[in-house]
Amino acid sequence: MSKPSYHILITSIEAYGHINAICGFGELLARHGHKVTFAQRLKYKKLADQHGFNFIPFDETIIGTACEDVFLKWIDANADKFRQEPIERFKNYTEEEKEAASFGVELYRKLNRTLIPILGANSFDAIVHDGLEIIDCIYRQTIPVISSFSAVPLILYEKGPPGLSGFSLDSDPKLWEEYEKCCNEAYSKMNESFNALLRESGRSEVFTFLQWVLPLKSIGFYHYPADLDYTELEPIKSGWHRIDCYVRSPDEGSTFELPDKLKDKPGKLIYFSLGSTASNDLKMMDKCLSALARCGHRVIVSMGRRGDKLNLSDNMWGQEYVNQVAVIEKVDLVITHGGNNTFMETLYHGKPMIVIPWLGDQLDNAQRVVDKEIGYRVNPWEFDEDYFLNCIEKVLNDQQLQERVRKISENMRNSNSGTQAVKMIEDLISNHKKC
């Protein structure tokens, strides 16, 4: 007797890391025989098509300005703060800056309004979402609601340094306390605004910027390799389970061929990307590109939406959008902002990395790379070209480091945690249908 095929809706907040992760989760479900429908803004329909998902577009008249655009305006206004070390960046916020940090509440209200008719007009067996647990219409669903957590899982553990801080597990707990105090003060208005949403839903007001994962409706899955997980901090919050890998596949029908400009040049091949957010910091991009111009290696650059304002040296080739997964497969080193999506793709393909963290959980990944001796961390608030270039040479010549990364990749590929996760979801749906 064949097992049943379920119809599962996947959706996420509008940010490339979350979108790529939820598509990877959708691929996992589809490979196990389930029908997957992806709900998101119309411009992401091509992702659904390439992965073989059904697609339901959000109502653009409700959504209005893209979440990402609003976020980037806030990032631009605070760019100087993100070039400071973690505690300093949260000190001395003005009341206006505190208010501006709460911009996301209205975006979530709009997402709620656009998801209500989608959920009302379609019959799904379950929902898997990334970053939408605060939305009222998802919280009120009677079908199983499964959370995907595509960020660094540090905040899911009950001990250790605060998430989003970039502190080592061996650092001084007094620094953790100072960071929490400064961060909670800076984001006090955000905390108030998001807790108002929870209050409107009749839920407990438990949101804080540093503990923004809400109590689960059913079960949740986070995306991180077992070799790097924070098991030394156990226990983990109830209901959460690790999937070692749900990395998305490369863009359909596409490969990456080395550009003619780089074919006859000497040196190793490096991929440089600060992600869709930090790449907008042209000051930081220029610093990195200036150093890479004299690194003695070939560099593929993901230039970002402001790439027309960047100058690439003779040893570089780049585009606004680079087929990242296909590129990572071919390079010797990845220099990244440390966003968890790129972080996981880099490890899956067995490539060592240098992390230049800019904000959020990028800082935690950067420190984990150092603590697990699989790469180096270069902080934007103390960027030194010579140190950066030295890190590149050390990574490219450290065979033991590269072997550690290859072992992590092998373990990710051989893990059956994805299959176990799908079985848990299937059981959850089956038991719900029996009620």
Q: What is the pLDDT of residues 157-208, one digit of tens each?
A: 989 999 999 999 999 999 999 999 999 999 999 999 999 999 999 999 999 9
- CB of 182 within 8 A of CB of 90? yes
- DSSP symbol at 232: G
pLDDT of 277 reads 85
Counting beta carbons within 10 angstroms of the beta carbon of residue 7, is it exposed (0 to 12), middle (13 to 18) or buried (19 or more)?
middle
What count of Cα atoms within 13 Å lies in the side-chain half-sphere of residue 32?
21
Backbone angles phi, psi at 67, to 5 degrees: -55, -40
Kindly state the average pLDDT of the residues 268-297: 95
> Rounded CA gap, 204 and 206, in Å?
6
Work out the end-to-end distance of the chain between its first and last CA atoms, rounded to an integer number of angstroms: 22
**What percentage of the chain has pLDDT greater than the value 70?**
97
Residue 29 main-chain phi, psi, to 5 deg: -65, -40
Kindly report the backbone phi and psi dihedral angles of residue 415, in degrees, each rounded to the nearest multiple of 5, phi listed first.
-70, 140
At the fourth CATH level, the homologous superfamily of domain 260-413 is: Glycogen Phosphorylase B; (3.40.50.2000)
As a whole number of angstroms, the longest Cα–Cα distance in the chain is 66
Q: Which residue has the higher pLDDT, 362 or 64?
A: 362
Confidence of residue 2 (pLDDT cuts 50, 70, 90): confident
Give the C-alpha separation, 359 to 83, whole Å: 9
Q: Please report the pLDDT score of residue 67 as a whole number.
A: 60
Q: Per CATH, the architecture of 7-97+107-245+415-434 is what?
A: 3-Layer(aba) Sandwich (3.40)
> Which of 11-20, 364-373, 386-395 is the least confident region?
11-20
Whether the domain at 7-97+107-245+415-434 and the domain at 260-413 fall into the same CATH topology: yes
Over range 267-282, report the average pLDDT. Answer: 93
CA distance 116 to 136: 9
The structure tokens 């009749």 sit at: 202
Residue 65's pLDDT is what? 66
Whether the predicted pLDDT of 8 surpasses 70: yes
pLDDT at 68: 61
* Least confident span in 38-52, 237-251, 277-291: 237-251
DSSP, collapsed to helix, strand or coil, labels residue 427 as helix
Q: Where are the domains of the chain?
A: 7-97+107-245+415-434, 260-413
| pLDDT tens digit sequence for 286-316 | 999 999 999 999 999 999 989 999 999 999 9
- Give the distance from CA 21 to its chain's centroid: 7
Over 70: is that where the pLDDT of 365 sits? yes
Which pLDDT score, from 0 to 100, does residue 253 have? 55
